[in-house]
Amino acid sequence: MDGEFDETVLRQRLDALRSEHRALDDEVRALTMCGVIDQLKIMRLKRRKLALKDEMFRLEDILNPDIIA
């Protein structure tokens, strides 16, 4: 497997995660704005957002490692 291919796949995955994170953020915002207070659903959405954020940080670390000279 080529390093360039791996990077391309990781970047595509990162873009997909960011898109899903934004969609969940919009859904949480819509639920709270329309007055629907389903706390369990909102909590699950926020938990999913956090899991996505963790995965995004992990991929960003792989793509942009900290190089200590």
pLDDT bucket at 65, cuts 50 / 70 / 90: confident
Mean pLDDT calculated for residue range 17-32: 95
Q: Give the predicted TM-score (pTM) of the model.
A: 0.81
What lies within 8 Å, CB to CB, of 18 at 6+ separation is 56
Residue 24 has pLDDT above 60, yes or no: yes
CA–CA separation, 7 and 34 (whole Å): 40
Q: Is the pLDDT of residue 61 over 60?
A: yes
Q: Where are the domains of the chain?
A: 9-63
What digits encode the pLDDT tens for the residues 29-60?
Answer: 998 888 767 889 999 999 999 999 999 999 99
